[in-house]
Amino acid sequence: MSIDIPAVLERLAYRYPSLLVDAIESCEPGRRIVAVKNVTVSEEFFQGHFPGAPMMPGVLMIETLSQVATVLLLQETAGGNGRLFLRGIDNAKFRRQVVPGDRLQLEVTLDRRRSALARAVGVARVGDQVVAQMDLLIGREAGPAYASASAGKAASEDLIHPSAIVGRGATIGAGTVIGPHAVVGEHVRIGRSCRVGASSIVDGWTDIGDDCEIFPMASIGLIPQDLKFKGERSRLVIGRRNVFREFVTVHRGTAGGGGETTIGDHNLFMAYVHVAHDCHVGDHTIFGNSATLGGHVTVEDFATISAFSAVHQFCKVGQHAFIGGATIVTKDALPFAKTVGSRPARIFGVNTIGLVRRGFPPDVVAKLRHAYRVLLVSKLNTTRALAQIEADRTLACDEVRYLVGFIRSSTRGVILRRPTRRMEEMVADE
């Protein structure tokens, strides 16, 4: 018979991540079901159970029969929102090892039922031989305990996966999709048309704007990794149209850092990026894979932080800055420039390609390049170089004035080292 096994099993509250039922041979709804599991050598559990002598663990035999029982019980209420969970096992007997190549025939027969509890007899066979048998006690949740009242008002429950856990105080915007096994905390507010991927978590006092996408396994809004944090209420505020790829972590603020981490609009955080507590990220930024921000970092608009780079706590990254791959930033990174290298990082001139792509006029790019030549090549100290730039009327424009102000307002100092000739050749080769 035709049964959508994965769809049915998503309503089992607790189960091993793998689907352990391959096909249904026969089903009498409310009475009996016979299913099949083909045991192959590629099953991941055989890698450690046991090397050189693979056999199927007994606990997965229990899980397999529990999944078959779930299919049988939920055929009666396929349109409902109830969920099932394994409450207990009685009289379990394992009579023979199950090894790669075996074809398990799984038979479950309902015994006694009450409104919230059902007892079933499960028998697993290989050929004519019984390999395992047990009595299963299956509990039933009558309603959608995973969805909150606020979520029900703001979003269709059809868009919240049955296996997701959404706190009762959470607010979910219209059109937002919550994926399988995702967790959304009770203080979270998510805007319209967002997507929260499978097994991701959004927690704490976190506000997320419209049209954001959180990919599987991301962690958004959890407590900071700061020993001074004492559990105080702090916030994470995220704007619109941001993308958080797999395994991204973003932490909310601390009392000592202002109590708030903020992220603007239209930002891309690639896989494994970490944004620490009390950071402030502007708009239209790009973070490469595994880029890391320490606490209290500010990243201004249109900055790019490439893969495996790290920015030290309390540093600032200026507008349109480009941080090269695997760079360590321990001072403020200048706007409009390419900063590359590790201890110390160095300036490789103006980010000309990036500025042209973003529509900067040629005369502005030329003025910025001239200003950087004064800073890096003139052999003047920084104070005199800034004075010369300000006195040169041919360099007058908003971008140059912003560059001068950025340097003068820096509290950690700025990265102004020139690369060696060898480093310039290496970067050119790349």
Residue 59: count of CB within 10 angstroms of its CB: 11
Residue 423 has pLDDT above 70, yes or no: no
Residue 418: count of CB within 10 angstroms of its CB: 14
Residue 132 has pLDDT above 60, yes or no: yes
Return the percentage of the chain with pLDDT > 70, whole number.
Answer: 87
Compute and round to an integer the Cα radius of gyration of the chain: 29
Average pLDDT of the chain is 88
Q: What is the mean pLDDT of residues 281-304?
A: 97
Please report the pLDDT score of residue 152 as a whole number: 41
The catalytic position among 187, 251, 277, 320 is: 277
Please report the pLDDT score of residue 1 as a whole number: 52
* CA–CA distance, 153 with 172 (Å, rounded to integer): 8
pLDDT in tens, 94-119: 999 999 999 999 999 998 877 678 89
**Count of alpha carbons within 13 Å of 285, Cβ hemisphere only?**
31
The catalytic position among 295, 318, 341, 354 is: 295
Q: What is the mean pLDDT of residues 354-363?
A: 94
- List every span in the chain annotated with CATH 2.160.10.10: 149-296
Confidence of residue 315 (pLDDT cuts 50, 70, 90): very high
Instruction: Give the length of the chain.
Output: 430
For residue 107, what are the contacts with CB-CB under 8 A and spacing of at least 6? 32, 33, 34, 35, 122, 123, 124, 125
- List every span in the chain annotated with CATH 3.10.129.10: 5-141
Q: What is the mean pLDDT of residues 87-93?
A: 92
Class of 5-141 per CATH? alpha beta
Please report the pLDDT score of residue 137 as a whole number: 92
| Burial state string for 165-175 with b = 16 or more CB within 10 A and e = fewer than 16 | bbbeebbbbeb
Confidence of residue 297 (pLDDT cuts 50, 70, 90): very high
Residue 80 has pLDDT above 50, yes or no: no
pLDDT in tens, 145-191: 334 434 444 445 558 998 999 999 999 998 899 999 999 999 999 99
The catalytic position among 203, 226, 265, 278 is: 278
Please report the pLDDT score of residue 151 as a whole number: 45
Structural domain 149-296, CATH architecture: 3 Solenoid (2.160)
Residue 341 has pLDDT above 60, yes or no: yes
For residue 140, what are the contacts with CB-CB under 8 A and spacing of at least 6? 73, 82, 83, 84, 115, 116, 117, 118
277 is catalytic: yes
